[in-house]
Amino acid sequence: MDSKHPLYTGPYNLNEEEEKKLILREYRALLRALKQDIKKGDKAMLRHAFEMAAEAHKNTRRKSGEPYIFHPLAVARISVEEIGLGVTSAVCALLHDTVEDTEITLEDIGREFNNNIARIINGLTKISNVVDLKAETTVQAENFRKILLTLAEDPRVILIKLADRLHNMRTLDSMNREKQLKIASETTYIYSPLAHRLGLYEIKSEMEDLALKFTQPDIYNEIVKGLKDTRRERTRYINEFIKPIKEELAQHGFSFEIYGRPKAIHSIWNKMRNKHVTFEEVFDIFAIRVILDTPPESEKQDCWKVYSVITNFYHPNPERLRDWVSVPKGNGYEALHTTVMGPGGRWVEVQIRSRRMNEIAEKGLAAHWKYKEGAPTAQESKLDSFLEHLREVLANPNTDTIDFIQDFKLDLFTEEIYVYTPKGDMRVLPMGATALDFAFDIHSQLGTRCIGAKVNHRLVPLSHKLHSGDQVEVITSSKQHPSEDWLQFVITAKAKSGVKNYLRESKRQKAEEGKAILKRKLEALHTSMSQHNINELVQYYKKSSPLDLFYAVAVGAVDLSELKTFSVYGDKMQHPSREIRNDTRELADEEVLKQKHGKGAELIIFGERSDKILYKLAQCCQPIPGDDVFGFITSGEGLKIHRTDCPNASRLLANYGHRVVKTKWARNKEISFLTGVRITGLDDVGVIQKITNVISGDLKLNMRSLSIDSKDGIFEGTIMVYVHDREELNDFCNRLGILEGITKIERIDNTEGA
């Protein structure tokens, strides 16, 4: 990663002469990278773009102190070297920030270059790059929607945008903490899934590693250190594993490359988290890769030959065979993956690819174009159908963008199945998709009218889960309408937004009736549908919006006779109990706790001691002092404090950046916080005694509960204790750790029900 880093990162102190030299050096490196692509006239165009950008940005510097032009130069190099884009894209990358940040207009670019370039830059400008903490949620969501729309228009826009974002992530060090969190979250929320969907695995991986580095530096550093400490041992093992295969493949006359490489830091972290294991316990921290130099016509059979050679030496796990050579993934990825039993009884993943497949794995979409010869390949048409699908969903103005992005992201990561229409056309759906998903995939009209399907000629209900190879015929009726429960069994973004759009539309119609009813009632009480009254009623009936209120009125879900209890002052009505009701709202757990364990300020919010601001600790991650935290302004429950590694953090930070409040802990030893740890160990008489000794004897902690389950000589326990801060929690964990028989201790995020 460091060698790719084109920028000067240290404290910036170059003189003008040195700066100029460095800028020119970057520019020449860009020309070298483009070498084969440069045709007659291209050089002059590139030079022109470079000079225009350098001139336009000449008075601006980046946060790190370096001249701004380094950034567009770096984005151009990433576009060319790491994504495989050509001259046009390089020109666009050089100019990508000029229209937004300088005097240069789109007309200027159209005139100086051409309309095509102006169009791409227009796309790039529309996707605002600025982290606008004050922007409304809808603005942020709209921004995501634009990203997806421009992607559907010209994929180059999004590819350059990804290069731009990658460079910003690589240079995130110089930003303040708040922006780091916001940019990193936005990256994992939308950009890395997109990179993944477009098959840009290297970029996706680097983005996620960098995001982890900034959101959870402790974990990142721990894994980096772990990888470094185990490198020697790993290299030895990999060499031992590879040796016989290498010899055998050479004997078969293959020209190939074989090597082992550690998996990405974020994917190691995901394994640690999902399986509740430590770094040492993650068994597959590396994979072996075989890359074959073989012509396209024999690559499939050669990949299988290599598979056969490898499994002559090592036993394969039949459940872990993935054949993306016969049927590539939806994002174009092709390879043969297998997991075999290596020396010393360790499972080892092996990835087999041809040189062409490897390039696709690294450069994704752009590599497809490179190999394009005449008619579109199967992969290309797959990509086209993905873009088509995107255009279709986004074209509907009723689609709720945040919802859609949420569902869309789920689509991006799941495994795929391949099913067929009655005519034998193949459709790719995520694993777990149902007959109804299939109907929506064909057309939303077909989806909303679907009453069932025939799968392999057998009649099945809407909710029937499909399998690879199924042939599906949709059965419709003009009387059919989507209902709420359909959302229980559709899993694709397209089907979900299809159902939701229908429901929203019919709810809106119903709400109109409710609005008319309410209007009559209010008039009877000699008041009106004023904004004040609507707000008052929304709050009184605990609805989340006027629409919800009107709908509830229409279906008779609220008791309108209660309207009589309101006092009316002309256009304003007020419920006498509402003030009081707000104040006596039941106390949340942590507030009770605060009373029990003393009072005082423990957070600094907006730079203020928190005794001036009311807040709650989020239940989803239960922060304690010492944790990295941020404040989040909720719509109904005031300020909530989350950990930056909270499972919900990236969604909140990416979508609602403007509601995030900078927060850190003040030192305070008087208040304690409920937290939980899970322990595992060997069952032994007296272990509970030892644990309680640590809690009440040594540390004098206040324990709320302790539950221990033991089975076959192994016990698992959950301890809930009150601690003052993270330091105390760490101390507690350390003391438990040295007890004989305890093998693992981990903090629990969410202790609800514990």
Using alpha carbons, list the distances in angstroms from residue 555 to 380, 501, 510: 49, 19, 8
In the complex with Mn ion, the residue whose CB is nearer, 90 or 736, is: 90
Q: What's CA 674's distance to the chain center, in Å?
A: 29
Q: Which is nearer to Mn ion, 128 or 750 (CB)?
A: 128
Residue with Cβ nearer Mn ion (200 or 553): 200
The alpha-carbon radius of gyration of the chain (Å, integer) is 30
CB of 79 to Mn ion, least distance (A): 12
First to last CA, the chain: 43
In the complex, the residues that contact Mn ion under the rule CB under 5 A are: 97, 164
Helix (H, G, I), strand (E, B) or coil at 655: helix
Choice between 96 and 368, CB closer to Mn ion: 96
Q: To the nearest 10°, the Cα dihedral for 618, 717, 754, 617?
A: -10
Alpha-helical segments (H) within 190-230: 192-197, 201-215, 217-229
b/e per residue, 336-364, with b = 16+ CB within 10 A? bbbbbebeeeeebbbbbbbbbbbbbbbbb
Are 338 and 310 contacting, i.e. CB atoms less than 8 angstroms apart? yes
Q: Is 100 labeled as catalytic in the residue annotation?
A: yes
In the complex with Mn ion, which residue's Cβ is closer, 61 or 276?
61
SS (H, E, C) 401-430: HHHHHHHHHHHHHCCEEEEECCCCCEEEEE
Q: Return the number of the residue (164 or 725) whose C-beta is nearest Mn ion.
A: 164
Of 239, 328, 249, 243, the C-alpha closest to 294 is 249
- Shortest CB 21 distance to Mn ion, Å: 23
Name the one residue in this structure whose structure tokens are 């067929």.
420
Active-site choice (37, 42, 101, 108)? 101
Q: How many CB atoms lie within 10 A of CB 657?
A: 23
d(CA 720, CA 677): 7
Find out whether 740 and 684 touch, Cβ atoms under 8 Å. Answer: yes
- Who's near 260: CB < 8 A, 6+ residues apart? 234, 235, 238, 241, 242, 286, 287, 288, 289
Start-end of H helices in 656-725? 687-692
Q: How far is the CB of 170 from Mn ion (least distance, A)?
A: 12
Report, in Å, the least distance between residue 129 CB and Mn ion. 5
Is residue 407 among the annotated active site residues?
A: no
In the complex, least distance from residue 52 CB atom to Mn ion, rounded to whole angstroms: 16
Q: Which residue has the tokens 């159209």?
A: 110
Helix, strand and coil in the chain, % to nearest 5: 55, 15, 30
Q: Which candidate, 172, 179, 170, 228, places its Cα nearest to that of 203?
A: 170
The smaller minimum CB distance to Mn ion, of residues 183 and 238, is found at 183
Q: Which is nearer to Mn ion, 97 or 441 (CB)?
A: 97
The residue among 26 and 164 lying less far from Mn ion, judged by its C-beta, is 164
CA distance 416 to 655: 28
**In the complex, minimum distance from the CB of residue 134 to Mn ion, in angstroms, rounded to a whole number:** 20
The gap from C-alpha 193 to its chain's centroid, in whole angstroms, comes to 6
- Supply the minimum distance, in Å, between the C-beta of residue 187 and Mn ion: 14
Q: Is the Cβ of residue 164 or residue 590 nearer to Mn ion in the bound state? A: 164
The 8-class DSSP code of residue 340 comes to E
- Shortest separation between residue 96's beta carbon and Mn ion, angstroms: 6
608 - beta bridge partners?
A: 605
Q: Exactly one of 19, 37, 100, 416 is catalytic; name it.
A: 100
* 239-to-246, 259, 374, 434, 501 alpha-carbon distances in Å: 10, 9, 43, 45, 56
Beta-bridge partners for 346? 342
Amino acid at 91: V
Nearer to Mn ion by C-beta: 131 or 410? Answer: 131
**Minimum CB–partner distance for residue 172 and Mn ion (Å):** 13
Q: What is the smallest separation between the CB atom of 93 and Mn ion, expressed in angstroms?
A: 9
Please enumerate in sequence order all residues whose Cβ is within 8 A of that of 156, keeping only pairs 6 or more positions apart, or say none. Answer: 85, 88, 89, 92, 120
Beta partners for 169?
none
Judged by CB, which is closer to Mn ion: 161, or 356? 161
CA triple 151-391-376, angle to 5 deg: 75
Q: Least CB distance from residue 71 to Mn ion, whole Å?
A: 6
Q: How far is the CB of 59 from Mn ion (least distance, A)?
A: 17
Q: In what order do the strands lie in the sheet with 673-682?
A: 702-711, 714-723, 673-682, 742-748
- What residue is closest to Mn ion based on CB? 164
39-44 CB contacts, 8 Å cutoff, 24+ apart: 39/87, 42/87
- Please list the active-site residues: 100-101
